[in-house]
A and B are shown apart, each in its own frame.
Chain A
Amino acid sequence: MKYLGWDELIPGAILFSFSEEMEKDASEILPEDRPYAETNSHEAYVGDWRVLKPVYNRDLCIDCQFCWIYCPDVSIISRDKKMIGVDYDHCKGCGICVEVCPTNPKSLLMFEERIDNDDALAQWPEKE
Chain B
Amino acid sequence: MAEKMELNEVEVWDGNMAASQALRQAQIDVVAAYPITPSTPVVQNYGSFLANGYIDGEFVLVESEHAAMSGCVGAAAAGGRVATATSSQGFALMSEVLYQASGMRLPIVLVVVNRALAAPLNVNGDHSDMYMGRDSGWIQLDAFNAQEAYDMTLMAFRIGEDPEIRLPVMSHQDGFITSHTAENVRPLSDDEAYEFVGEYPAVNPMLDLANPVTYGVQTEEDWHFEHKARQHHDLMTKVFGKVEEVFAAFEKKTGRKYNIVEKYDMDDADVAIVALGTTVETAKMVAEKLRKEQGIKAGVVAPRLFRPWPHKQIIEALQNVKAVACLDRSSPNGAMGALYNEVAGSLYQCENRPVVTNYIYGLGGRDFTVEHAEEIFKELAANAEAGKPTTPLQQFIGLRGPKLSFY
Contacts and interface: CB of A to CB of B under 8 A. Distances in A.
A9 B222 CA distance: 13
Contact of B214 (A14, A23, A24): A14
Contacts of A13: 103-104, 217, 219, 223, 227
Interface in A1-35: 3-7, 9-18, 21-26
B226 A24 contact: no
A23 B211 CA distance: 9
Contact of A6 (B212, B215, B230): B230
A66 B197 CA distance: 52
A26 B208 CA distance: 11
Contacts of A5: 226
Contact of A11 (B209, B222, B223, B234): B234
Contacts of A10: 204
Contacts of A12: 103-106, 166, 204, 215
A9 B210 contact: no
Nearest to B208: A21
B101 to A, nearest CB: 10
B214 A7 contact: no
Interface string A45-86: 000000000000000000000000000000000000000000
Q: Which of A9, A14, A23, A24 has the most CB of B within 10 A?
A: A14
A11 B105 contact: yes
A11 B210 contact: no
Contacts, number: 63
Choose among A4, A11, A21 the residue with the greatest number of B CB atoms under 10 Å from its CB.
A11
Interface string B205-235: 0000111111101010011011101110110
Interface in B180-214: 204, 209-214
Contacts of B219: 13
A24 B210 contact: yes
B211 A18 contact: yes
A25 B230 CA distance: 31
Instruction: From A4, A9, A18, name the one whose CB has the most chain B CB atoms within 10 angstroms.
Output: A9
Q: Which of B105, B204, B214 has the most CB of A within 10 A?
A: B214
Contacts of B227: 6, 9, 13
A24 to B, nearest CB: 7
B222 A3 contact: yes
Contacts of B234: 11
B260 to A, nearest CB: 22
Given A6-B233, A11-B166, A25 B226 contact: no
A7 B209 contact: no
A27 B65 CA distance: 35
Nearest to B234: A11
Given A6-B226, A9-B226, A16 B231 contact: no
Interface of A: 3-7, 9-18, 21-26
18 contacts: A3-B222, A4-B226, A7-B233, A9-B230, A13-B103, A13-B217, A14-B204, A14-B213, A15-B213, A15-B217, A16-B204, A16-B213, A18-B212, A22-B210, A24-B210, A25-B209, A25-B210, A26-B209
Given A10-B204, A12-B103, 5 more contacts: A5-B226, A13-B217, A14-B213, A17-B212, A22-B210
